[in-house]
Structure 1
Amino acid sequence: MVGGTEGTGSGARPGDAGGTEHLTVERCGATLVLTLNRPEAKNALSLPMLVGLYDGWAAADEDDEIRSIVLTGAGGTFCAGMDLKALAGKGMAGERYRDRLRADPDLHWKAMLRHHRPRKPVIAAVEGHCVAGGTEILQGTDIRIAGESATFGLYEVRRGLFPIGGSTVRLARQIPRTHALEMLLTGRPYPAPEAARIGLIGHVVPDGSALAKALEIAEQINACGPLAVEAVKASVYETAGMTESDGLAAELARGWPIFDTDDAKEGARAFAEKRPPVYRRT
Structure 2
Amino acid sequence: MGGSTEHLTVRREGATLVLTLNRPEARNALSLPMLVGLYDGWLEADADDTIRSVVLTGAGGSFCAGMDLKALAGKGMAGEAYRDRMTADPDLHWKAMLRHHRPRKPVIAAVEGPCVAGGTEILQGTDIRVAGASATFGLFEVRRGLFPIGGSTVRLPRQIPRTHALEMLLTGRPYTADEAQRIGLVGRVVPDGTALDAALETAERINACGPLAVEAVKASVYETAEMTEEEGLAAELKRGWPIFATADAKEGAKAFAEKRAPVYRRE
Residue type at the aligned position of 2:63: F
How big is the shift at 1:218? 0.1
Percent identity for Structure 1 against Structure 2: 85
1:37 equivalent in alignment to 2:22? yes
- Alignment partner, residue 120 of structure 1: 105
How big is the shift at 1:221? 0.1
TM-score normalised by structure 1 residue count: 0.94
TM-score normalised by structure 2 residue count: 1.00
1:100 equivalent in alignment to 2:85? yes
- Alignment partner, residue 212 of structure 1: 197
| Aligned equivalents of 1:248, 1:74: Cα separation in 2 | 41
How big is the shift at 1:238? 0.1
How big is the shift at 1:158? 0.2
Q: Secondary structure at the match of 2:156?
A: helix
- Alignment partner, residue 69 of structure 1: 54
Mapping of residues 145-184 of structure 1, within 5 Å: 145-184=130-169
| Aligned equivalents of 2:3, 2:183: Cα separation in 1 | 36
Deviations 1:2-44 (A, max 9, x none): xxxxxxxxxxxxxx63400000000000000000000000000
1:196 equivalent in alignment to 2:181? yes
**Alignment length (residue pairs):** 267
Q: Is the 8 A contact 2:3 2:38 kept in 1?
A: no
Residue type at the aligned position of 1:75: G
1:52 paired residue among 14, 37, 45: 37
Residue type at the aligned position of 2:75: K
1:83 equivalent in alignment to 2:83? no
How big is the shift at 1:134? 0.1
The runs of 5 or more residues in structure 2 that have no matched partner are none
2:212 paired residue among 227, 237, 244: 227
Q: Is the 8 A contact 2:3 2:39 kept in 1?
A: no
- Alignment partner, residue 270 of structure 1: 255
Residue type at the aligned position of 1:113: L
| Aligned equivalents of 1:102, 1:95: Cα separation in 2 | 11
Q: Is the 8 A contact 2:22 2:59 kept in 1?
A: yes
Q: Secondary structure at the match of 1:144?
A: strand
| Aligned equivalents of 1:232, 1:65: Cα separation in 2 | 18
- Alignment partner, residue 7 of structure 2: 22
| Aligned equivalents of 1:102, 1:147: Cα separation in 2 | 37
| Aligned equivalents of 1:144, 1:18: Cα separation in 2 | 22
Deviations 1:192-216 (A, max 9, x none): 0000000000000000000000000
- Alignment partner, residue 8 of structure 1: none
1:242 equivalent in alignment to 2:194? no
| Aligned equivalents of 1:202, 1:248: Cα separation in 2 | 26
| Aligned equivalents of 1:191, 1:79: Cα separation in 2 | 15
| Aligned equivalents of 1:165, 1:269: Cα separation in 2 | 45
Residue type at the aligned position of 1:23: L
Q: Secondary structure at the match of 1:89?
A: helix
| Aligned equivalents of 1:18, 1:215: Cα separation in 2 | 19
2:118 paired residue among 133, 156, 162: 133
Q: Secondary structure at the match of 1:116?
A: coil
Q: Secondary structure at the match of 1:92?
A: coil
